[in-house]
Amino acid sequence: MTLPELLIRSLTATDAPVYFAFRLAGLAESPLAFGRSAEEYRHEPLETVAAGLAEHLGERVTLGAFLSGELVGAMTAVRELTLKRRHKGNIYAVYVSPAARGQRVGETLLSALLAWAGAVPGLEQLHLAVSVTQEPARRLYLRHGFQVYGLEPKALRVNGRDIDDELMVRFLDG
């Protein structure tokens, strides 16, 4: 069986409706993985989603992964704004649809995101927080050179369950 070709590209404001549906489904399917809840996100205005996807060269990017034209994965990186923090960025909203998992979609997206970050002058670190429950995500990050530097106890409370977040950083070469 040949797998359909995986296309990775930056999303733009015109992808907002598709991205909104994708993100909402992800928040509903993996509530332990994210700080935002589906209940809150479903009220997000489409203009806000579009503004978040609009191109800001070197400042933020959402990469989408498409299989047979369908959005099956996405990740966002946002550079810090202030002078003293501009050497750092954060990764958010990492998600691959359940049916597309285990086919290197996450690997390919994260490699592309690291390549994007590596090409931004002055950007030296990428940070993220990952719920300790999200084992495949933790392994993905550790495989890509992220190091654990802390633990935020009870970072999330999901339906009365407290979840710790592991804090990770990836230093970018050069």
Ligand X SMILES: CC(C)(COP(=O)(O)OP(=O)(O)OC[C@H]1O[C@@H](n2cnc3c(N)ncnc32)[C@H](O)[C@@H]1OP(=O)(O)O)[C@@H](O)C(=O)NCCC(=O)NCCS
Q: Note the residues at the interface with ligand X (CB under 6 A).
A: 30, 33, 94-96, 101-107, 130, 134, 136-137, 139-140
Q: Are 105 and 65 in contact (CB under 8 A)?
A: yes
Q: Minimum distance between the CB of residue 83 and ligand X, rounded to whole angstroms?
A: 28
Contact between 5 and 65 (Cβ < 8 Å): no
Structural element, H or E, at residue 140:
helix 135-143
Cβ nearer to ligand X, comparing 9 with 101: 101
Q: Is 95 exposed, middle or buried (0-12, 13-18, 19+ CB in 10 A)?
A: buried
Q: Which is nearer to ligand X, 49 or 100 (by Cβ)?
A: 100
- Shortest distance in whole angstroms from residue 120 CB to ligand X: 21
- Strands 88-96 and 125-131, bridge-based pairing: parallel
- Which amino acid, residue 135? E
**Which lies closer to ligand X via its Cβ, residue 57 or residue 115?**
115
Minimum Å distance from CB 142 to ligand X?
Answer: 9
CA distances from 8 to 56, 108, 165 (A): 18, 8, 28
CB of 130 to ligand X, least distance (A): 4
Return the number of the residue (56 or 101) whose C-beta is nearest ligand X. Answer: 101
Q: How far is the CB of 30 from ligand X (least distance, A)?
A: 4
Instruction: Say how far apart CA 5 and CA 26 lie, in whole Å.
Output: 22
Query: Are residues 31 and 158 in contact, defined by beta-carbon separation less than 8 angstroms?
Result: yes
- Residue nearest ligand X, CB atom distance: 106
SS3 (DSSP) at 124: coil
Query: Judged by CB, which is closer to ligand X: 89, or 106?
Result: 106
